[in-house]
Chain A
């Protein structure tokens, strides 16, 4: 068994598993991580097939730039934007899987029929002057027109993304610090002018996910970040109350 086949048979099943997992996991971030794994293993396949330039470009462009872009957009749209995974069209999932199975079987049988016994030429002759030099020679001589067109495409894409993602600043963002400061001491917000109450009950637990207790014993919603409330990560303050501990009488002795 050659080194190439060892790498292939070790990585190929993992690659297929990761790409299947991409479809099954619920959160988009997990899909992105699995896709990054698939892309890195494809880079390894390029490298062992004597395509070092493409292997490096795969890591730099796909796992570096494209996946980072995906993760940025996921952060922008909200990491929690998980799929509902419910079918909108009835039976679509099984039809899709069946069609893909048929397609894959057809494709593999075609590949099996089309290449039987032909010798594999390998990249030794083509890479004789170096892989990067060979690609550069082809790119700037035979494919120079396509190269120029692609450069125009890149510029168009950059401008298009800027136009699509650009938004005018909302008038709310122009409120000056002076106006804000004045508003803080007028009207309803006078109650919180000195800052919102801190979280936690100091006796047992003062992390941010435990609401502080008001003098009347009720938890204060203002003391926990609204993000935690929306995510449902806020804990019950009662869990950390001092019930069951010995109480002090009026002279300071333990009852």
Chain B
């Protein structure tokens, strides 16, 4: 099978994740959509490694995973902190600076 199909799948998943980031209002769901986008990029990296026959793509995907794990830890801690003070996990509610 032509590995290009994986690239199409990655593009579709990335776009769906982007829609989710814009449309959904719950901060945790927005975060999950960001994870989906990162995963789609990882799939593209692994596919490019397969196409070009070297391991660099897989190493970059590995680094992406590590950075994504860090991002999740800090991001979720921020969400918990906001939830503690505002009793809400909606991204619309965290707009104190505009008022």
Distance (Å) between the CB of A1 and the closest chain B CB?
8
Distance (Å) between the CB of A148 and the closest chain B CB?
12
User: Please, could you name 27 A-B residue pairs with CB atoms under 8 Å apart, sorted by A?
Assistant: A16-B13, A19-B17, A20-B16, A22-B16, A23-B20, A31-B32, A35-B32, A38-B39, A51-B58, A69-B76, A70-B28, A70-B32, A70-B76, A76-B80, A83-B29, A92-B23, A101-B15, A112-B4, A123-B49, A126-B49, A126-B55, A135-B59, A153-B67, A157-B69, A157-B74, A164-B77, A165-B80
Which of chain B's residues has its CB closest to A53's CB? B58
The reply on A185 being an interface residue by CB < 8 A is no
Distance (Å) between the CB of B12 and the closest chain A CB?
6
State whether A138 and B56 are in contact (beta carbons under 8 Å apart), knowing that A16-B9, A167-B84 are contacts in the complex.
yes
Distance (Å) between the CB of A155 and the closest chain B CB?
10
**How far is B24's CA from A125's CA once the two chains are assembled, in angstroms?**
44
Chain A residues with CB under 8 Å of B84's CB are: 167
Distance (Å) between the CB of A17 and the closest chain B CB?
10
In the complex, the answer to whether A38 meets B53 with C-beta atoms within 8 Å is no
* Contact pattern, A 110-153, Cβ under 8 Å of B = 1, otherwise 0: 01100100101111111100010011001100010010001001
The reply on B78 being an interface residue by CB < 8 A is yes
Q: How many residues of B contact A (CB 8 A)?
A: 70
In the complex, the answer to whether B63 meets A115 with C-beta atoms within 8 Å is no
- Which residues from chain B sit less than 8 Å from chain A, CB to CB? 1-9, 11-20, 22-26, 28-29, 31-33, 35-36, 39, 42-43, 46-47, 49-56, 58-59, 61-63, 65-74, 76-81, 83-84, 89-90, 92
Among B25, B33, B58, B63: residue with most chain A CB under 10 A: B58
* Contact pattern, A 151-169, Cβ under 8 Å of B = 1, otherwise 0: 0011011101100110100
Distance (Å) between the CB of B40 and the closest chain A CB?
8
**How far is B74's CA from A164's CA once the two chains are assembled, in angstroms?**
8
Which of A19, A101, A126, A165 is in CB contact (< 8 Å) with B36? A19
Chain A residues with CB under 8 Å of B14's CB are: 104, 107
Chain B residues with CB under 8 Å of A157's CB are: 69-71, 73-74
**How far is B67's CA from A157's CA once the two chains are assembled, in angstroms?**
10
The reply on A62 being an interface residue by CB < 8 A is yes
Which of B8, B46, B67, B69 is in CB contact (< 8 Å) with A65? B69
**How far is B1's CA from A153's CA once the two chains are assembled, in angstroms?**
38
Chain A residues with CB under 8 Å of B81's CB are: 164-165
In the complex, the answer to whether A23 meets B13 with C-beta atoms within 8 Å is no
Which of B4, B49, B65 is in CB contact (< 8 Å) with A62? B65
The reply on A192 being an interface residue by CB < 8 A is no
Among A49, A82, A156, A167: residue with most chain B CB under 10 A: A49
Please list the 4 inter-chain residue pairs (A to B) with the smallest Cβ-Cβ separation, ordered nearest first.
Answer: A121-B53, A5-B1, A157-B70, A164-B77
